Amino acid sequence: MNKISVIGSGVVGTATGQGFHKLGHKVIFYDISKERLKALKNDGYNVASNLSEALSQTDISFVCVNTPTHNSKQDLSQIFSVLQQITEYLNTAEKQHLFVFRSTILPGTMRNVIVNYLEKNCKTKRGIDYDVVYNPEFLRQNSSFDDFFKPDRVIIGEDHAQLSKILVEIYERLTKNIIVTSFEAAELIKYASNCFLSLKISFFNEIGLICQHLGIDHKVVSLGVSLDKRIGKYGTEFGRPFDGMCLPKDTQALASFIKQNRIEPDLLEIALNINKKIEDLTSTSQLVSDSTETHS
């Protein structure tokens, strides 16, 4: 049994904490939202009134705060807020602590932002008093708890060997597909996964537009293609843009990141353009539908 705190108790944090609790670990939740903490407490979970309280009672912390995209660029303000509080705690802490970041972050963020911030501002030493790893989540919003217990794979990013051992021991009860790699590879695996899904959805929406132009039944085409076991059904339905909490923001963030690094993100830009076209199409269809219902 490990003593685990969850920092950021939204969809990802709640599923992560509840999952570890069910696996037999001692879990305490923290979030800036008092409503979330109250709901978790009413459900029988332990909660902390502040971050220091959560850290002082645990040995491992999973950081699950949001990293939204603003103007196509990733917003790390919540990460920095947590880092500031972590630093304040570590400067007076008397025991070792492992920080596991689960938030979606662009390649280089762990090393150049998170590690750099902690090493510059903490009086204590990384590798002795504390350490950090990256463990991206692959949880869907509507099935996050079930996804926690049935992961296709677990990715752990580290920058020195054996640090991931404790996480491997925790996760090997859930899957044998555990990949331990560098910070940067783990960060990009998360983005590559989400952006591939965006590309797939946009591709089949473009096929759907072709079907409309030629008078072909797009449902038959999608079904015929999706039955190929290498492709599958997910994301092949015409008329549904990629949406939700992750795919739009992550695709925009990676496209912007690639452009900043002077690599033309042609496929991602095309995917975003197709998605906008489908959003406009579905919005127009809804307006026509609403107008018909109003006047009928």
How many whole angstroms separate alpha carbon 175 and alpha carbon 104?
21
Amino acid making up residue 34 = K
How many whole angstroms separate alpha carbon 285 and alpha carbon 270?
22
> DSSP state, 206?
H
How many whole angstroms separate alpha carbon 137 and alpha carbon 118?
22
Nearest to residue 106, comparing CAs of 261, 269, 257, 245?
257
Pair 61, 31: CB distance under 8 Å: no
The residue behind tokens 């645990």 is 58
- pTM of this prediction? 0.88
The CA-based dihedral angle spanning residues 24, 183, 8, 75, taken in that order and rounded to the nearest 10 degrees: -170
Give the pLDDT of residue 244: 78
Domains of the chain: 3-181 (3.40.50.720), 190-291 (1.10.1040.10)
Structural Rg of the chain based on CA atoms: 22
Q: What ranges make up the beta strands (E) of 121-234? A: 130-134, 154-157, 178-181
Residues 104-124 pLDDT 10s: 999 999 999 999 999 999 999
Amino acid making up residue 254 = L
Q: How confident is the model at residue 163 (pLDDT cuts 50, 70, 90)?
A: confident
Q: How confident is the model at residue 217 (pLDDT cuts 50, 70, 90)?
A: very high
3-state secondary structure of 38: helix
Give how far Cα 71 sits from Cα of 50, 68, 252, 256, Å.
Answer: 31, 10, 9, 9
Averaged over 199-225, what is the pLDDT? Answer: 95
CB atoms within 10 A of CB 140: 14
Angle at the Cα of 15 from the Cα atoms of 200 and 51, rounded to 5 degrees = 120
Q: How confident is the model at residue 285 (pLDDT cuts 50, 70, 90)?
A: low
Pair 160, 127: CB distance under 8 Å: yes
Pair 113, 101: CB distance under 8 Å: no
Amino acid making up residue 179 = I
How many whole angstroms separate alpha carbon 269 and alpha carbon 75?
20
Residues 238-263 pLDDT 10s: 988 888 778 888 888 888 888 888 88
Question: Side-chain half-sphere of 11: how many Cα atoms within 13 Å?
Answer: 15
Give the pLDDT of residue 220: 97
**Residue predicted with more confidence, 36 or 268:** 36
| Alpha-helical runs (H) found in 63-182 | 77-90, 109, 116-121, 144-149, 165-171
